Structure 1
């Protein structure tokens, strides 16, 4: 009752501050989701995350040190010394970041650091009203200023500039009150506590961001997208632990009783967990239909609000007791549990397993904070030892989880799944001798990896990389690379240049530069890149096994044909191994071998769970090119990776093109060729070659070539 009577408005003001910050922050990111495309959105989030991590390093744990000790000692010199140290560190780190990464990220690092130390100073003085208005002010300005600058500049960098200005405004305003009474000695007296607090802060940042890094690497961006959506909803409802921590830390440090608020907080966490579950069921389907797969994940993460609330209460209590080392050990322990959970539960249960890893991490954190202090005789050492064991175990498990392939055997069916050529690979063999089949699928997968190593434009050891960085000099190439390049030029010739392996400068501009800048390229930039595109300027000397460009700055990409070649090579390896029946699938491009008929579904380009039709393949290959595999939205415009080399813009006459041929290199190249040519010219080419093809036009109509003999849904 004492805490309420002495500062009856303090808790309400912290609640208002944190809830407002959470709501305005969510609105900010939702607005950005409408204004900029997902990749620019992700890149911006990455840059802001870097600034937040760096600001955590710069604050050096001094914020919690101020709150913990100032309320006990009433020493303003501690506040001033802490502020000066953070100012110096942020200027040094910010300057380095500006030089190495991005000037606006450097400036944002300074702004976040100063704002953080200033808000902690307000908590240390129990000036909850000032604390509240600082949060409301900075989030309000940072909601409008960055978007206004973005619209004025037309660059994503404007968002960073607006955020930096917002946080600097409030950080510098509060800092001027702290720098008049300075004593670095007061800070030095608390260095042990400060370093432990700093370690805990860094561990907490790792907990908040490492999961995204791991999931992106281990499970791919599609799963990460749904996970991130669910996690953002979790954060919206998980504002309670933040509220309790920021209010309880100064109150407990001042010796106030807070048991009633703690009890109410835990009860409120139960309500919020239920609210998150209802939100997932009632709000997500109508408003976010693309994320309905994340409904159960939101419900699981919602349960994590309860242990997160307990963790927030215990963290405030331990800091007030000057036991920062226990907080550090608990966070390291939870981090280890989180890594283990992601690699093990994610592998076993997919998205639901990843959501469960959030719950496991929060339970581990709460458990560590509760039980580590109960160990006598050096709780910090015990906590650190347990944390070390957890982290070592996590690293071991994660290292075994990052495998290039996995093999399953079910009767006479042996299946390898893996990742290569930036997509998923599946090789299925039907063979009574499963040991022979296992060896065969491994060899076939390794062959795909080998082809990727030859023809990847990104790997510095590849032949295509060497060609792309040769200027106009001759480059010696293997017969295989020469073969694929010649095949590419063949399709360039019969399509009038619609298939062009030298289109890489345009692909990079749209899929890299446009993503980071967040706007359609200027006509001048587009014209400059178009000058570097032209298949006639790629010269191949087959007799001497070499090739070169006639123009400086040209580059090739075999993205529209190399995958098909790799599939053909994998099939050859399987046949040489004695395999009679098999299917090789690399990112949806498929080839079958043997007398067995394999059933393959053709995906609808707009409805992920629907099929255009079912086809039967027997010793045949099928490849599909579409605008729905690698794409992003710029406003309402769909931007994808299949670029028309004549216009410089993404081809827009088709949604998808499916081609069936005897081998996959031709199916792969033709599906891309027809997609760029458009429905009329594309169908004419397919009929001329006598090839089976299915075209879905930009308005959703289906057109088939004269040779097409498969049924379609609705026909």
Structure 2
């Protein structure tokens, strides 16, 4: 016996309104899918590593490390070649052991007669005179006769006895200073025959500034130049801060790290730069113009400056000469916010801005916070 079947309803075809609604839903879904795909591609592009080109070449008696960020390799290679040429040019022009140009310029200055200064060095001369005034004469590239007197005019000075006090006093009596130079257009002369220019403490800084200017002219927005631990940088490394090591006073190892980006320069002056040892005492090339002797109560000074390397290098030398007591006043005059001084007792004297920025690896050293233009230190445990 057959079971009775229920009658099946007649098929219902969708109405025109229903079809339109479904088509609208499909288009909305398609648009959402396209937007999702575009978003995914954008995220993938943003997370793709920005190209970083790195190279190394010799200049100024050491290795130069160069990083260029964010441009195609062919352009980066061409820009790096230009930087190398620029640095080698200033190596020959300024580096003490090889510069016939500086030798000739000093001979002409001693004559007292005006002469045409090399155009490539005119910004260095004018900026150095301004820094001489800001530092109250502590940064004084006119002291070349003192470095020669001490035998510090070579990359590897000999371990000879220091000069006599009489010889030092004879040079102090004539006081060679940067304001003994007179620049009229490109005509340069001096009325003090004791003036002998020695730009060794800032030669690499000036060269790096010129190289960064050249990179900017080629639309490079992020780059870093490192010469012997001194750094000139612009921009960032693929959107991340540059991590820069701050050297120990011994010249070996790192005492801290600073994370920075933008237009910055990091320079260190220390007793380890161009020195010799005689009877157990270190004699170095950071000469105090007030005494004619190497600065003697500071082991090193590191300056981070938001701007040109020449100012950073000059300030590091000036603060080292100013010494453990007076450096905050000179820092204030020179507009230095970030400075770390390591005195002969191993204490870390810092500006508040540097104390906040630096990641110290040696947390056991005594820290003293010194505010520029103020005398009262704040000692921290």
Match of 2:257 in 1: 614
Counterpart in the other structure of 1:275: none
Tell me, yes or no, if the aligned pair for 1:537 and 1:551 is still in contact at 8 Å.
Answer: no
Matched, 1:676 2:317: no
Deviations 1:571-590 (A, max 9, x none): 12222223232111122211
Contact 1:537 1:550 in 2 (8 A): no
How far residue 540 of structure 1 moved from its aligned partner, in angstroms, is: 2.3
Q: Which secondary structure state, in structure 2, belongs to the residue aligned with residue 579 of structure 1? A: coil
Secondary structure, aligned partner of 1:502: coil
1:598 to 2:242 alignment: yes
Cα gap change, 1:545 to 1:519, in 2 (>3 Å): same
After superposition, where does 1:231-250 map in structure 2 within 5 Å? none
1:133 matched residue in structure 2 = none
**Contact 2:246 2:257 (8 Å CA) reproduced:** yes
Q: Which residue of 2 aligns with 1:450?
A: 89
CA deviation map 1:338-359 (0-9, x unaligned): xxxxxxxxxxxxxxxxxxxxxx
Give the SS at the match of 2:200. Answer: coil
> d(CA) in 1 for partners of 2:89 and 2:314?
20
Contact 2:66 2:80 in 1 (8 A): yes
Matched, 1:586 2:227: yes
- Partner residue of 1:556 out of 197, 222, 239: 197
Q: TM-score, normalised by structure 2?
A: 0.73
Distance in 2 (alpha carbons) for counterparts of 1:523 and 1:424: 38
Q: Are residues 1:540 and 2:182 paired?
A: yes
Paired position in structure 2 for 1:649: 293
TM-superposed CA distance for 1:441, in Å, is: 0.8
Distance 1:419 1:511, change over 3 A: farther
Residues of 2 paired with 1:441 and 1:561: CA distance? 22
Change (3 A) 1:547 1:604: same
2:114 counterpart residue number: 474
CA distance in 2, matches of 1:658, 1:607: 12
Could you tell me how far apart the structure 2 residues matched to 1:696 and 1:640 are? 16
Structural RMSD (CA) = 2.4
Larger relative contact order (CA 8 Å, sep ≥ 6): 2
Q: Could you say which residue in structure 1 is the equivalent of 2:51?
A: 412
- Tell me the residue number matched to 2:62: 423
Deviation at 1:487, TM superposition (A): 1.7
Question: Which structure 1 residue ranges, 5 or more long, are not aligned?
Answer: 1-409
Structure 1 residues 583 and 531, CA, compared in 2 at 3 Å: closer, same or farther? Answer: same
CA displacement at 1:607 relative to structure 2? 6.5
String of CA shifts for 1:169-202, please: whole Å, max 9, x gaps.
Answer: xxxxxxxxxxxxxxxxxxxxxxxxxxxxxxxxxx
The structure with more strand, counted as a fraction of residues: 2
Q: Any stretches of 5+ residues in structure 2 without a counterpart?
A: 1-48, 364-381
User: Match of 2:367?
Assistant: none
Rg: which structure is higher?
2
Q: Normalising to structure 1: TM-score of the pair? A: 0.40
Partners in 1 of 2:165 and 2:132 — Cα distance? 25
Alpha-carbon deviations, 1:3-57, whole Å to 9, x = none? Answer: xxxxxxxxxxxxxxxxxxxxxxxxxxxxxxxxxxxxxxxxxxxxxxxxxxxxxxx
CA shift, 1:674, in A, is: 0.6
| SS of match in other structure, 2:150 | helix
For 1:505 and 1:546, the matched residues in 2 are separated by 23
In the TM superposition, residue 643 of structure 1 has moved relative to its aligned partner by: 0.9
Q: In the alignment, is the contact (CA less than 8 A) between 1:654 and 1:696 conserved in 2? A: yes
Aligned residues: 303
